[in-house]
Structure 1
């Protein structure tokens, strides 16, 4: 029997590269596609020697062409951190809209199942806590974060339209804060920012009073949830994240202890529309996929810290 073939867009990014690893390990033929705007070939250079791995340097917002059969498509191409999407607002909107449209068209032409990477940002600054999949969100469409939030909300809408109108096999994962090796140190998210500052002996910069919360999921747990969702029969959005919630202040103190530095936490004004609380309700993932996160934060932070130490030492 010939091996199943999967296309992973954003395949040179943080999450995309870990998905490439997983699908190769599971015996798939993997095509990684990336325009390298925010992805890096360093994340996948270890895969170029694999006979079942191919890399296409391509911008999915313009066109997508993949010769031969395709069984699955995972659409993970997009700037994903505030620094990136504030710097590239138009590209962010395009990859969520035009890019998704192109990939849904490819999935239809190839009769492939497609999973799209949505985000907890579709909930905006939530008025419901924890966030369940049937919560519609509290999003400012014209605020600075709107380019990302609304691109992902549109992505979900067009994906469901292809599912209901064309009968396309679609899956939607709503990803909550995820961390692990291959994250970019300068991507502006709190975890790499805190670790980078601590390793350089700088003070940690928290925004607001540090009382806002985040829930951090280790990348291996996330990849497991995505893999199970792709192979499930469920077409509606599913939250994947770790519900272990922590305040930004407590998290900063945890990083200072872990890195054994003399850094202090300093506070700056909270950016506009920054969510005050973030915690997934993962009941659906537990019931439909039999999925639960298995890595505690202390277990996941060890390999993450080792990775960042190498990056900082350069």
Structure 2
């Protein structure tokens, strides 16, 4: 990105601060992790690949914590403690924590929906299937609201105090870059969960009745996991046994459980990083 050279220059040369002659390994690792996370955006096409990307984010914040332990980084932050960009950075972490909590809650809600659908299919419970469809509709509305909030936050990500020296600017942009890829991950996940095709749909109950008579549905290979379920429950049904959906749902349940645990871990890491920043400012 445009500030890669600036970042490299800033972490190699010092003016008023005593910077090391060579960049600390954590600095290079940060660039590598950002590169991997950015590169994974195009290939993030399943719940399991999103779990991998979430793991990348967790590793990124571990790396940021390592950077915040470096004396010259702490010196920059402590000297900038009264500036607006530090306040903006701390406010950003509050927003990230809120967004992470929302994402984790929605993932948890989705897991319960999938578990409920599994139970309903095993029992051939029409009311249980209806509950899944109703709950999913409500979840989509909640997610659309969350996406709107995330996009509003993204539009306010202007970095202040651009008259700072190169070392300070480099640190600012590293931390803001981490914030940016985190928000992008949240947006991608929520958009993925709401994915569905705009299609004419049959009457819900006539379609469910067909399903209960062991009819079948064809899956398009480019559909994500949630679209496959939507198509199964809401599109025309062809010759496929209902049981063919069960392994798909069980695999989804496991992947969503991993996502839920991943978001819980990321939440704790965001809190830890925020505490590190506050401790630096208070000393």
More helix by share: 2
More strand by share: 1
Q: Which has the larger radius of gyration?
A: 2
TM-score range, shorter chain: under 0.3
Higher relative contact order (CA 8 A, sep 6+): 2
Provide TM-score, normalisation by structure 1: 0.23
